Amino acid sequence: MQNKESRRRKTWIVVAVVVLAAGLAAWWWKGRAGEGAGGPSASASAPAGGPGGRPGSGARFGRNGPQPVSASAVQRRDMPVVVNAIGSIASANTAVVRAKVSGELKALYFKEGQPVKAGQVLALIDPRPFEIARDQAAAALARDKAQLENARADLTRYKDLVAQEAAPRQQLDTQQALVHQLEATVLADQAALDNARLQLSYTRVTAPISGQVGLKQADLGNNVGPSDANGLLSIAQTQPAAVVFAVPDQHLARIRQQLADRQPLPVKAWDREQRQQLADGRVASTDNAIDAATSTIKVKALFDNKDGGLFPNQFVNVRLQLDTLKNALVVSTAAVQRGTPGTFVYVVADGTVVLRKVRVLATDGESTAVQGELKPGDQVVTDGADRLRDGGKAEVIQAPAGGAPAVGGWRGRNRGADGAASGASGPAGVGSPAAAASGSGSGDGGERPRWMDRVPPEMVDKIKAMSPDERRAWFQQQRGSAPAQ
């Protein structure tokens, strides 16, 4: 009985020890996770909180840390008012060259695709039948001229005889009529000869306009004629080249006013991907009616196209400059946000996010002119704005000069003579103005960079060993799941 009680007491002691050990282990692990020692997964499990370092506001880059964002500076400069459209290149003139006489094609004097001048000989049609016709017309003319000279001589003799009353008046009148008849015959013969010469000239096919020839539509030895649908070839005049595009009719009054005042309306043609500018031109004219279905008006612009880079029917993106805003506040287009407050931007000042309402005046690609409570030099958020709110905390990880959109990157390991890191900017303050001022960099030969304090200790060496692209991707992934500040 006593042995039984002793075994039961030992069993309860063992159970109590196991429960106590489990409790101690759970308490220790919870405390380690709360301090951020559990790696990225432990930080991700922390509940989101408010700004200002309140409990529970931990983020990927460290507990109570500000949101890393990219930003660019507000500028004050002239801003063009641009209308974007799509259009196609059209030749100023297009001519289909056809044979004007029928015959065998004997020669071609052009190469497909080459530029030609107006009047240049392009092809030769067998001229022999037309040479014969010319000679026949010339012979007929010579015969009738001889008859006319003889009739005129007789007319002179009859006049003398009638004057001497040696011949009747009727014979003189008859000879006078014969002379007139032969004169008309000579004129007809001359016209026939001119026509024969003209037909002979048509055997040498010439270019009606200057331009670029296309592919030949007939081969040597073929019989060609005026009724051929495709002709011999086509010529497109591409200098100047025209671009026809449509713009909203609300801009029509402005366009017509500037055309009436003879003020140039600059037009730029860009390629399909809008990466390369193809040509500069000016508006030449507008259509005479608005398209009621689309409420647009067609506009034609002319380009010198001296290098021949524009081809008929080529697709282009068109940027028509209507005006220029002088001394406008210009921000990166990526910084402009739209939501419940309307149109606004986030300004980062001393680590604090401030929402500023703005009114968009004009947009030109990556730049937007706005009106609002901004001043040149203000840092507006271009990346990471979806995780911000008015009054929250943020830290600029990149703020390039010139107002260009910031792209999260990594500050290189090479350092300049002033101790500031060089290369692309890095995460969590590396490469930011504050980091440069404090001398923080990659850690090679300088002070300990701030990002080392914001990641788990066991991840520091792994991050250092990553390539710049891998490092950038890792920080973006961690930042993407961080709670809003």
Residue type, 19: V
What pLDDT sits at residue 113?
87
Region 448-452: mean pLDDT is 59
Structural domain contains residue 25: no
- The label of the residue with tokens 């701030």 reads 450
Let me know whether 368 and 476 are in one domain: yes
Cα end-to-end distance, the chain, whole Å:
68
Q: What is the CATH number of the domain that holds 87?
A: 2.40.30.170
Let me know whether 359 and 456 are in one domain: yes
Confidence check: pLDDT of 137 > 70: yes
Confidence check: pLDDT of 40 > 70: no
Structural domain contains residue 18: no
Q: What is the CATH number of the domain that holds 116?
A: 2.40.50.100
Let me know whether 101 and 206 are in one domain: yes
In angstroms, the CA 161 to CA 348 distance is 122
Task: With beta carbons less than 8 A apart as the criterion, state whether 59 and 43 touch.
Answer: yes
Of 35-39, 302-306, 356-360, 459-463, minimum mean pLDDT range: 35-39
Structural domain contains residue 414: yes
What pLDDT sits at residue 256?
87
Let me know whether 347 and 298 are in one domain: no
Region 384-402: mean pLDDT is 71
CA torsion angle for 384, 274, 472, 64 (degrees, to 10)? -10
Let me know whether 191 and 252 are in one domain: no
Q: What is the CATH number of the domain that holds 433?
A: 2.40.420.20
* Domain closes at, from 269, 288, 323: 323
Let me know whether 128 and 167 are in one domain: yes
Structural domain contains residue 39: no
Confidence check: pLDDT of 419 > 60: no
* Domain closes at, from 224, 248, 270: 224
In three-state secondary structure terms, 483 is coil
Residue-wise pLDDT for 240-297, tens only, equals 888 999 888 888 888 888 888 888 889 999 888 888 888 888 988 888 888 888 888 8
Confidence check: pLDDT of 146 > 60: yes
> What is the distance, to the nearest Å, from the Cα of residue 357 to the centroid of all Cα atoms in its chain?
31
Residue 144 burial (C-beta neighbours within 10 Å; 0-12, 13-18, 19+): buried
In angstroms, the CA 263 to CA 90 distance is 24
Of 97-106, 231-240, 345-354, minimum mean pLDDT range: 345-354
Confidence check: pLDDT of 121 > 90: yes
Let me know whether 476 and 347 are in one domain: yes
Structural domain contains residue 243: yes
Structural domain contains residue 185: yes
Q: How many residues are present in the chain?
A: 485
Dihedral sign from CA coordinates of 110, 112, 114, 118 = positive
Let me know whether 128 and 194 are in one domain: yes
What pLDDT sits at residue 284?
87
Instruction: Count other Cβ atoms within 10 Å, centred on residue 343.
Output: 15
Structure tokens at 248: 């909203």
Structural domain contains residue 98: yes
Let me know whether 260 and 163 are in one domain: no
Let me know whether 266 and 369 are in one domain: no
Let me know whether 88 and 106 are in one domain: no
Let me know whether 309 and 429 are in one domain: no
- Mean residue pLDDT of the chain comes to 76
**Considering its fold, how many domains does the chain have in total?**
3
Q: Residue 347 is part of which domain span? A: 67-74+336-480
Structural domain contains residue 7: no
